[in-house]
């Protein structure tokens, strides 16, 4: 829903990047239409015919702008560690054998380096998601440093 509201905050028939991102994140088109319908029913979105193709051009209503601002400025939500799949799994890693754990860390390091390379490419071309990409790079860098420090760990 956040990408739908973010995309509608700057309606531009030529720039559908936020909506494309919402579609990509959902992994299924049908999962995006429900939040759009819900946001419209809640009075957060307004729709108008697209000027050059089939479909609707969405924009935020005043209530939508207020909801987006509340979401974007919520200190509690912003500072929450949330559901970080990397961090949450670390609890189980102590139950792995040293060999299995080291192999996992090596694979994670390799995958994280690849992710870092992809993020750096995206950072050069993604003006809309620039801050999000910068923070993602910082998170991956911290993970890489954490993994590097455990390369020789045995216990």
In whole angstroms, what is the distance from residue 23 CA to residue 135 CA? 22
| Final residue belonging to a domain, choices 61, 78, 95 | 78
- Locate the DSSP E strands across the chain: 45-49, 56-60
Joined tokens for residue 108: 């994670």
The domain tally of the chain equals 2
Digit-coded pLDDT (tens) for 34-55? 888 889 999 999 988 888 887 7
Digit-coded pLDDT (tens) for 134-143? 999 999 999 9
3-state helix, strand, coil in the chain (%, to 5): 65, 5, 25
For the four alpha carbons of 116, 120, 122 and 127, in that order, the dihedral sign comes to positive
Q: Among the listed ranges 10-14, 44-48, 69-73, which one has the minimum average pLDDT value?
A: 10-14
Residues 20 and 48 in one domain: yes
| Residue at 155 is within a domain | no
Digit-coded pLDDT (tens) for 102-147? 999 999 999 999 999 999 999 988 878 888 899 999 999 999 999 9
Residues 66 and 129 in one domain: no
Residues 11 and 45 in one domain: yes
């Amino acid at each position: 829903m956040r990408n739908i509201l973010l995309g509608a905050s700057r309606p531009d028939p030529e720039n559908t990047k936020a909506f494309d991102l919402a579609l990509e994140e959902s992994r299924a088109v049908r999962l995006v239409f429900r939040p759009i319908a819900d946001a419209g029913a809640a009075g957060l979105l307004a729709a108008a015919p697209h000027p050059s193709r089939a479909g609707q051009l969405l924009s935020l209503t005043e209530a939508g702008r207020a909801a987006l601002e509340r979401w974007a400025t919520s200190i509690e939500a912003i500072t929450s560690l949330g559901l970080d799949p990397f961090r949450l799994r670390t609890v189980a890693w102590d139950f792995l054998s040293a060999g299995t754990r080291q192999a996992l860390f090596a694979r994670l390091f390799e995958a994280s380096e690849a992710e870092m390379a992809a993020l750096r490419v995206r950072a050069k071309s993604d003006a809309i998601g620039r801050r999000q990409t910068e923070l993602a790079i910082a998170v991956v860098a911290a993970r890489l440093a954490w993994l590097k420090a455990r390369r020789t760990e045995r216990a």
